[in-house]
């Protein structure tokens, strides 16, 4: 019930391409869906987040698409750059709760 499933495990994209990472959740009580970016040797950093009352949120080249009925959400990185190469984690939580449930992570490599 607490699981968040993330795919793909790894992704290779050419510079300028679109990177798409997908997540699915089970617990319908979740009401906050953040994405984290993690570079090697660093801790995860909050990238962008969405609440289920909207279907899309965009910040620069990063967009979250949210499908409440399907219990799925995805991260789109437009015009992907080599500097975007990192591991991306989706997560879900109830804002009133203490615990974030993380996906398993996607290692993104953007080729120059």
Partner 1 sequence: DAGVIQSPRHEVTEMGQEVTLRCKPISGHNSLFWYRQTMMRGLELLIYFNNNVPIDDSGMPEDRFSAKMPNASFSTLKIQPSEPRDSAVYFCASSWRGPAAAFFGQGTRLTVV
For partner 1, the binding residues (CB under 8 A) are: 32, 34, 41-46, 49, 89, 91, 93, 95, 97-100, 102-105
> Would you say 110 and 13 are in contact if contact means Cβ atoms under 8 Å apart?
yes
Distance CA 64, CA 25 (A): 15
Task: State the Cα torsion 65-50-61-85 to the nearest 10°.
Answer: -90
For 2, phi then psi, to 5°, come to -95, 5
Nearer Cβ to partner 1 (20/48): 48
Nearest approach in angstroms of CB 53 to partner 1 is 16
Nearest approach in angstroms of CB 3 to partner 1 is 11
> Would you say 32 and 49 are in contact if contact means Cβ atoms under 8 Å apart?
yes
Nearer Cβ to partner 1 (2/14): 2
Nearest approach in angstroms of CB 71 to partner 1 is 18
Nearer Cβ to partner 1 (95/112): 95
């Amino acid at each position: 019930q607490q699981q968040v499933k993330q795919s793909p495990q790894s992704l290779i994209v050419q510079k300028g391409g679109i990177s798409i990472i997908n997540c699915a959740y089970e617990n319908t009580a979740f009401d906050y869906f953040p994405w984290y970016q993690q570079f090697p040797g660093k801790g995860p950093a909050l990238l962008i987040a969405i609440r289920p009352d909207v279907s899309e949120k965009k910040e620069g080249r990063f967009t979250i698409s949210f499908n409440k009925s399907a219990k799925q959400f995805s991260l789109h990185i437009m015009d992907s750059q080599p500097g975007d190469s990192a591991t991306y984690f989706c997560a879900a939580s109830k804002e009133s709760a203490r615990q974030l449930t993380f996906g398993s992570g996607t290692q993104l490599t953007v080729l120059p």
